[in-house]
Amino acid sequence: MIRINLKYFGELAEKTGCSEEQLDLELTNLSSALELLHKKYSLADSTFMVAVNQEQITQIEIINLKNNDEVALLPPFAGG
């Protein structure tokens, strides 16, 4: 089991009711963690980007998390 640190920004912080939390996971892949969050907070209609340890992730399915990793859920950025 690992523990990750989650950070939520913008609309996602409003939907979750918090700006950060810790989550204990049995499965260590990022896609499983996001699936759990979708169920916990009903995020199916939310669009967001993901960063792990301050690096934006584009291929979520191949990322394996480690203990104390920081996962940030970021709303889409507007502007140029």
Q: Go through the domains of the chain in sequence order and give each one's CATH number.
A: 2-74 (3.10.20.30)
With the C-alpha atoms ordered 44, 32, 37, 19, is the resulting torsion angle positive or negative?
negative
Backbone angles phi, psi at 36, to 5 degrees: -60, -45
Predicted model pTM: 0.91
Rounded Cα–Cα distance for residues 3 and 10 (Å): 23
The pLDDT value recorded for residue 61 is 85
Residue 79 has what pLDDT?
52
- 5 token code pair: 């640190």
According to DSSP, residue 13 is labeled H
Give the per-residue pLDDT at 45: 85
Section 14-30 average pLDDT: 95
Chain length of the chain: 80
Span 23-78, pLDDT tens digits: 999 989 999 999 999 999 998 888 999 999 999 998 888 999 999 999 999 988 75
Is 1 within 8 Å of 26 (Cβ atoms)? Answer: yes
